[in-house]
């Protein structure tokens, strides 16, 4: 039997940039010690996705 604490399941959300900013705003109102790691993870994922969308891959013909 798999230990969920050691290997928690992952979940993916798809939200607009405006909605993501609202999530960050809400997290910013919470105690820093409780949310700083989550904010860091979300920020890293957002930055990766935004940098990839800034340089879309072109189709080779």
As for how many domains the chain has, the answer is 1
Return the closest-CA partner of residue 41 out of 30, 55, 27: 27
**pTM, to two decimals:** 0.71
Domain assignment of residue 44, yes or no:
yes
List pLDDT tens digits, range 7-20: 889 999 999 999 99
Find the domain containing 30 and state its range: 17-51
pLDDT the model gives residue 61: 47
Domain assignment of residue 28, yes or no:
yes
Domain assignment of residue 2, yes or no:
no
Task: Identify the band that residue 6 occupies on the pLDDT scale cut at 50, 70 and 90.
Answer: confident
Domain assignment of residue 60, yes or no:
no
Domain assignment of residue 35, yes or no:
yes
Domain assignment of residue 45, yes or no:
yes
Mean confidence (pLDDT) of the chain: 88
Residues 6+ apart with CB under 8 A from 50: 17
Domain assignment of residue 21, yes or no:
yes
Domain assignment of residue 7, yes or no:
no
């Amino acid at each position: 039997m798999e230990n969920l604490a050691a290997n928690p399941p992952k979940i993916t959300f798809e939200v607009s940039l405006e909605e993501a900013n609202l999530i960050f705003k809400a997290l910013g109102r919470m105690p820093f010690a409780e949310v700083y790691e989550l904010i860091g993870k979300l920020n890293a994922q957002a930055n990766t996705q935004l940098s990839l969308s800034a340089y879309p891959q072109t189709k080779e013909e």
